[in-house]
């Protein structure tokens, strides 16, 4: 069985982390440099943004991972800074990202390729290299003990990567695997992430560092990560596949309490236990991102079922979740199913309007293509009172389903994003 447990990256044995204030931000009290260190022999996988304007750290990390794969080397660290995205910064930005990895490598006694880097914050402003010079030694000095005993051990790292997020984001899960000697051993998956401006976060960044203390080969790790991201981070309307800096890292330390770890293979009978633990952590983090979207007052979960295909289900759910008219309706506590119907209609998904039903916050508002009389008072009560608003639609065209998470669109979104950068 795989289940969520309290905590974050701190539950992962062998993983040490720190968050320090390095001076990327004006506020000296704010943490802005995170460091995650794993033991020699750890494996790594990552998925990155597909935006053509991808940031320098994304290019560098991508190349480092490829080099590790080629040389059959493990990763040793991830360095993440907030306050500056090092995106659209040209050759200078590239040099800074490389210098960051080199400096961390020198301090940790590994090769530069074994260090992965990520940045988040403002675009198009040169990222200074100086804060890393003092910040990295300070972070190393502050590293947690890697015992896996303090679930909150990675909280400073989680805080150091935040931008417009209002709360740090962590999640953890555990699963057990039978060992060769007949015993059963507990393993963990932990994660930290930062969310972003919501809705069309074409420049807001989603960063996540995930890790497990199971021992897993790089190739299998990569497959598990891609599958987990597909139904979690990629189902938040943060469009994690399209911003400049989006990066999700997954490390496997293999540092469980037994000396000789069993290497978990993809074709093992209990492989799904790890995949499920990873999925649980990713989905929990993804929901935290949506809930903490810029200006959000509600988490909005859009569930489309009865679609003719997976693509249709996702397109329909995304169309609803991306619709500013739906999102402002939720902000206004209005069960405006007409906007939901119309978003479904424009999504390109194939269905017959007569077969469609819609529920908002558990109230049936549209059934088999016709409006259903419902208590506006009860709808208002739910939309005001519920913390998570579920918009569910059955298309009646097949059996595919998809869930997408988003948030409502409020005045605070405008406040946050219409401010001058200064």
Task: By CB under 8 A, name the binding residues for a second copy.
Answer: 50-54, 87-90, 122-125, 197, 199-204, 239, 242-244, 319, 322-325, 328-329, 331-334, 336-339, 341-346, 349-353, 366, 369-371, 376, 409-411, 413-414, 417-422
CB 304, min distance to a second copy, A: 14
Q: Judged by CB, which is closer to a second copy: 283, or 322?
A: 322
Over 269-319, what HEC string results? CCHHHHHHHHHHHHHHHHHHHHHCCCCCCCEEEEEEEEECCHHHHHHHHHH
CB 328, min distance to a second copy, A: 4
> CA-to-CA distance for 302 and 318, rounded, in angstroms?
8
CB 340, min distance to a second copy, A: 9
Q: Judged by CB, which is closer to a second copy: 43, or 305?
A: 305
Q: Judged by CB, which is closer to a second copy: 87, or 136?
A: 87
CB 169, min distance to a second copy, A: 21
Cβ neighbours of residue 210 under 8 Å, at least 6 residues apart? 9, 189, 190, 191, 225, 248, 249, 250, 251, 278, 281, 282
Cβ neighbours of residue 347 under 8 Å, at least 6 residues apart? 312, 315, 316, 318, 319, 320
Closest CA to 61 of 84, 73, 44, 36: 44
CB 70, min distance to a second copy, A: 26
Q: Judged by CB, which is closer to a second copy: 48, or 274?
A: 48
Cβ neighbours of residue 62 under 8 Å, at least 6 residues apart? 46, 48
* Cβ-contact 248, 236 below 8 angstroms: no
Beta-strand relationship, 215-216 and 263-264: parallel
Angle CA(81)–CA(84)–CA(90) in degrees, nearest 5?
115
Q: Judged by CB, which is closer to a second copy: 165, or 284?
A: 165
Residue 205 annotated as catalytic:
yes
Q: Judged by CB, which is closer to a second copy: 6, or 369?
A: 369
Q: Can you read off the two tokens belonging to residue 49? A: 């943004």
Expressed in percent and rounded to 5, the helix, strand and coil fractions of the chain are: 35, 25, 40
CB 404, min distance to a second copy, A: 15
For 302, half-sphere exposure in the C-beta direction (CA atoms, 13 angstrom radius) is 28
| Catalytic site residue from 205, 244, 253, 406 | 205
By annotation, the residues acting in catalysis are 205
């Amino acid at each position: 069985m795989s289940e969520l447990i309290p905590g974050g990256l701190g539950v992962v044995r062998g993983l040490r982390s720190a968050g320090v204030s390095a001076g990327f931000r004006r506020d000296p009290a704010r943490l802005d440099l995170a460091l995650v260190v794993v033991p020699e022999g750890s494996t790594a996988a990552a998925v990155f943004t597909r935006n053509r304007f991808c940031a320098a750290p994304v290019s560098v990390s991508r190349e480092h991972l490829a080099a590790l794969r080629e040389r059959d080397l493990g990763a040793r660290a991830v360095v993440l800074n907030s306050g500056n995205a090092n995106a659209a910064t040209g050759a200078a930005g590239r040099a800074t990202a490389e210098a960051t990895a080199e400096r961390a490598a020198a301090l940790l006694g590994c090769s530069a390729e074994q260090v992965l880097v990520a940045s988040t914050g403002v675009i198009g402003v040169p990222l200074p290299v100086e804060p890393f010079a003092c910040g990295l030694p300070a972070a190393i000095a502050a590293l947690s003990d890697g015992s896996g005993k303090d679930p909150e051990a990675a909280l400073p790292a989680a805080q150091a990567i935040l931008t417009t997020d209002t709360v740090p984001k962590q999640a953890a899960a555990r699963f057990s695997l039978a060992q060769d000697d007949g015993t059963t051993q507990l393993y963990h998956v932990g994660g930290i992430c930062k969310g972003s401006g919501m809705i069309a976060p074409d420049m807001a960044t989603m960063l996540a560092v995930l890790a497990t203390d199971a021992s897993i080969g790089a190739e299998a790790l990569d497959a598990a990560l891609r599958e987990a991201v597909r139904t979690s981070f990629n189902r938040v309307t943060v469009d994690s596949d399209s911003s400049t800096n989006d990066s999700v890292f997954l490390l496997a330390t293999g540092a469980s309490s037994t000396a000789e770890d069993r290497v978990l293979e993809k074709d093992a009978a209990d492989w799904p236990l790890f995949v499920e633990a990873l999925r649980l952590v990713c989905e929990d983090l993804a929901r935290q991102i949506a809930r903490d979207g810029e200006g959000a007052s509600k988490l909005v979960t859009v569930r489309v079922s009865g679609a003719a295909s997976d693509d249709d289900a996702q397109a329909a759910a995304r169309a609803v979740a991306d619709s500013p008219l739906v999102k402002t309706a939720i902000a206004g506590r209005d069960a405006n199913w007409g906007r939901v119907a119309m978003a479904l209609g424009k999504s390109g998904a194939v269905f017959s309007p007569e077969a469609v039903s819609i529920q908002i916050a558990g109230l049936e508002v549209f059934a088999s293509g016709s409006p259903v009389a419902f208590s506006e008072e009860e709808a208002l009560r739910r939309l005001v009172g519920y913390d998570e608003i579920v918009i569910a639609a059955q298309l009646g065209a097949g059996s595919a389903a998809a869930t997408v998470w988003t948030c409502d669109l409020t005045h605070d979104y405008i406040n946050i994003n219409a401010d001058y950068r200064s």
